[in-house]
Amino acid sequence: MSIPKPLVQTNQSFLVASVILALLFHKAILLLPFAVGIWTLATGKNPVILLARRFLKKPANAYIQEDRDQQLFNQWIATICLGLSLLAFAFGYTVIAYAFSLMVVAAAGVALMGYCIGCTIRYRYMIWKHKRTKAVN
């Protein structure tokens, strides 16, 4: 299964915008992308993508497609980083909180420019896992 690239980019833009707004105005705004991430991971349906799907001008299959499993992997990374950022802010570890938030901004921002760090991490993990199973057999 796949997701049209404009919808993936909409989700990435949502992450960048909401995290930057949170860091500039009020840290509680981080709860929004965190909640979207939790919902997505729990249900497999991203509310940002579901909303944006209504605005596609062409049929979904007319766009370049992105791998759904890869996007869920990336969502895991972003949600974990946002959760750690929220925890760090709650316990007063501001530098750590900013670091985790800025990792999400950097990863989503760079993905919007064409390089997916989550894809690289997943690819290397899959290679490692494959080599490990070959070594056992």
Average pLDDT over residues 34-44: 98
93 is written with which tokens?
A: 């570890």
As a whole number, mean pLDDT of residues 125-136 equals 89
* pLDDT of the residue at 135: 79
CA dihedral 59, 61, 66, 68 (to 10 degrees): 90
Over range 116-121, report the average pLDDT. 95
pLDDT tens per residue, range 6-23: 999 999 999 999 999 999
In Å, how far are 72, 77, 96 from 130, measured between CA atoms? 20, 21, 33
Q: Answer yes or no: is pLDDT of 24 > 80.
A: yes
pLDDT for 124 beyond 70? yes
State residue 137's pLDDT score: 66
